[in-house]
Structure 1
């Protein structure tokens, strides 16, 4: 996968700085490789950690696949592919073996330990937040994963045991609690500054993000074995009350209009580094058009004139399906510029999710009934999604009036989750919400639905996958620890729910 220039620049700093700062004071140690420093300070580890988490994980493979499986996007190419549920043990190797574990979690582990030893709790706090977040995304797609043994290579542990997903979530919450405490410390030898590409060392913002994540993860377990939805919802509301991100403090990562440093969605779907065929799905485009949703202008682009483009399609929103289109791919809408220009910021988590956490949690605390509190929370959440894009209040009010919360409990829950699904466009969280609630009620990819043209390519399996298969590297080199209750056949293993799915 192509790295960003910004990451390469950071790595060059890591390689060069030891020589720069020691050459004047002593001769070069011929037994030490100057290009592979063994002791790197916290302020040089942090930017690389944040860059890798943003590009490789939050804007990387798990999020891209989730967007296909939740029908935010589709892959307009022939044959079986991820869009119609072809995913293999080899396909997930890079995410597990190259990105999630070494580039993010191991470096977060190193940073937190170094920061603790050096008396820099603020750096440790950020490292723990990223570690907890990355752990959640990894366990959410695989289920049981290595954690307690995962970073013990220096101790001779090369075949890590797997921790249960339930214990992983306990560890995630503990990491976030520790991070909140450490973020409040003013006793730091080294102050976090501009090398923090997300919040520039503002620890109050990191604290608010940690509380937001804790709320998200409490709600994640709403249907987990041994848990009750109302109790988990109460825990989520309690965390939000302690602090949460706002429209002004959403965690974003900046990208640049320079080759290799562009926004991940631009690289993946717009400029051809990866593909030009990954575009908003026909299902999703038709859904927004049917309700006159003003957010469509930000989430998708209108078709523009060009070679092979039917003039009748120009100026329209047209989605693709997970098969080779009958026309040139230019006849279909691309991902909206808001998300996919070369210098667009990548949103790690959007403020509207906070309001939808409140809306769903209030509904669950009320034992899945609609009252004035639930209705007010729903209205605020929908408006927050409109405000996120800067949509005029009059347009937002018109939309909300046409989509007022129903009194019927089942319909109301479907509305809350449907609106959250739209607000979380291109967010990994939409996949988690779908799995734990079954909402919105998505058709399987390439299944017939009203307004869809007849398709020739059948889906790979007869349901939306609910997990990733374990990577082939683990099956080959750590097979004794890989959970034995899952089939080695991905078409069978990817339909087995993870622990918190509660099914």
Structure 2
């Protein structure tokens, strides 16, 4: 991908001078494009890449949400150990930096998309690109609002026009505007018009798939509102279904990373560092869930390292993937020798190795080698998520077509098959047999649907989505960690505080936004749709 060069050439080209004719000739670099000649297609991959980067790696989610919702686990603790932010809700030396990653990189993605829209607007040959630019703004800005609550919106992305201290809009007004803009942009996509030429998604400019993506995103955003505004949720969920959402795993929205070009998968980069290879394990909550139904994904996602500290720190050698051997690490424990030492956890299995090669966490399952791949896919939205959301919509009485049981089965099968994009192919017969053996039970429908949503998004490393849907649905039911010195009062965090720079650089507007939060700018205040 060429994003760094793309961004540089555009920024240089956009700096147009207002001078006399002679000075204009003297001060214009003939090798750079102006805003009138720059191809806005070149901004699309930057908008897409910044979005997926905002929800991956050390920009926050793997250090926060991955363990807040007990997908992963770690025995790290204290200010020097960064996973303590996630596993125990304890401040580390870089917590303030991590908490602003989704905000900063997400707004960068939205800014690229906005600039792309402005350059494409009013040009018939770029009509599809202009509408895709709106869809990407919706994706990025909704993610920021999901993470922080009220955000700059109507005055955001306006720095070129002189607005550098934007006011904050309520999450409610942001969401309703985003849904309306998304509806208009998606409906306007036209397969008879030119397609984008620089699409980093697997769609490669396919307008039919982009249209499905727009409506699938609409469904996801609509379902966020089922507890805060059921009428709006129903209206837009039904519009999305009628418009045409994802219909197979071939519609999954994702980007394949390219580490050799400087665009590596942030989660793969994290999980392939020495400390993370050793310290990051699957949570007991996740492994117990997968084992309880003999989920075929278990042997593809989890491995127990060979005995001893050396093997546990070896990222190049695969471990034991036998399902019966898998054991999840309970969240909230450390290696400090006190009351919260892992050896004091209920059912502690003991360590492996002896002497200097001993490790107390050697029997716990870690992510398999495919998750340490820096060229692995970064998922945006999948067919599995869409089918599970449709299943819930039917349960809630929305007119989206099909049956809850049918959509649920489709979602379970798709969640299993989407792992193939990591290289972990599970054949359709196995996936279907598993779904048939574990059908939707009416009495437990919402629980089953949302537990599968959590497992699927978690196993695809989309930790932000697993967390947001947990906030929305309440499933799976999780027991919070109450570790000494935690920053959330022993509650699972429900939002990220605003970046610290907002309090100093955009003080008045920041204070106005914080005044609306119950308890202030903290980790547990609930935003509008989080009921």
TM-score, normalization by structure 2: 0.77
1:114 aligns with 2:119: yes
Within the candidate set 471, 477, 500, 1:441 is matched to 477
Does the 8 Å contact 2:68/2:493 carry over to 1?
Answer: yes
Within the candidate set 423, 432, 448, 2:456 is matched to 423
Name the CA distance, whole Å, in 2 between partners of 1:301 and 1:147: 44
Name the CA distance, whole Å, in 2 between partners of 1:459 and 1:485: 20
Aligned partner of 2:439 in structure 1 is 404
Aligned partner of 1:61 in structure 2 is 59
Cα shift at 1:154: 2.9
> What is the aligned-residue RMSD (CA, Å)?
3.5
Does the 8 Å contact 2:480/2:490 carry over to 1?
Answer: yes
Alignment CA distance shift 1:350-1:202 (3 Å): same
Q: How many residues align?
A: 468
Name the CA distance, whole Å, in 2 between partners of 1:118 and 1:259: 32
Map Cα deviations across residues 143-180 of structure 1 (whole Å, 9 max, x no partner): 11001111222333221111111110112112212321
The secondary structure found in structure 2 opposite 1:347 is strand
The secondary structure found in structure 2 opposite 1:252 is strand
Does the 8 Å contact 1:310/1:331 carry over to 2?
Answer: no
Alignment CA distance shift 1:57-1:118 (3 Å): farther
Name the CA distance, whole Å, in 2 between partners of 1:193 and 1:353: 28
Aligned partner of 1:334 in structure 2 is 366
Cα shift at 1:345: 1.7
Alignment CA distance shift 1:187-1:238 (3 Å): closer
Aligned partner of 1:100 in structure 2 is 106
Q: Describe how 1:51-200 pairs up with structure 2 within 5 A.
A: 51-57=49-55, 61-64=59-62, 65-79=64-78, 80-86=84-90, 89-96=96-103, 98-101=104-107, 103-119=108-124, 120-184=126-190, 186-187=192-193, 191-200=195-204
Map Cα deviations across residues 446-471 of structure 1 (whole Å, 9 max, x no partner): 78xxxxxxxx9978532111111111
Does the 8 Å contact 1:267/1:273 carry over to 2?
Answer: no
Cα shift at 1:497: 0.7
Aligned partner of 2:490 in structure 1 is 462
Q: Which deviates further from its counterpart, 76-85 or 140-149?
A: 76-85
Name the CA distance, whole Å, in 1 between partners of 2:466 and 2:105: 22
Does the 8 Å contact 2:268/2:373 carry over to 1?
Answer: yes
Aligned partner of 1:7 in structure 2 is 3
Name the CA distance, whole Å, in 1 between partners of 2:457 and 2:287: 15
Map Cα deviations across residues 24-56 of structure 1 (whole Å, 9 max, x no partner): xx9995524689866342122222222222223
Cα shift at 1:284: 1.4
Does the 8 Å contact 2:89/2:486 carry over to 1?
Answer: no
Does the 8 Å contact 2:131/2:189 carry over to 1?
Answer: yes
Q: Describe how 1:217-236 pairs up with structure 2 within 5 A.
A: 217-224=221-228, 227-228=229-230, 232-233=233-234, 235-236=236-237
Instruction: List alignment gaps of at least 5 residues for structure 1.
Output: 19-25, 448-455
Cα shift at 1:9: 4.9
Within the candidate set 360, 381, 386, 2:416 is matched to 386
1:239 aligns with 2:235: no
Map Cα deviations across residues 389-423 of structure 1 (whole Å, 9 max, x no partner): 44345544553455333342xx2321121122112
Within the candidate set 407, 412, 426, 1:377 is matched to 407
Name the CA distance, whole Å, in 2 between partners of 1:303 and 1:285: 15
Cα shift at 1:17: 9.5
Alignment CA distance shift 1:89-1:194 (3 Å): closer
Does the 8 Å contact 2:45/2:200 carry over to 1?
Answer: yes
Name the CA distance, whole Å, in 1 between partners of 2:436 and 2:485: 39
Q: Which deviates further from its counterpart, 69-78 or 316-325?
A: 316-325
Cα shift at 1:329: 6.6
The secondary structure found in structure 2 opposite 1:348 is strand
The secondary structure found in structure 1 opposite 2:509 is coil
The secondary structure found in structure 1 opposite 2:439 is coil
The secondary structure found in structure 1 opposite 2:27 is coil
Cα shift at 1:112: 0.4
The secondary structure found in structure 1 opposite 2:440 is coil
Instruction: Compare relative contact order (CA 8 Å, sep 6+) and give the higher one, 1 or 2.
Output: 1
Alignment CA distance shift 1:255-1:145 (3 Å): same
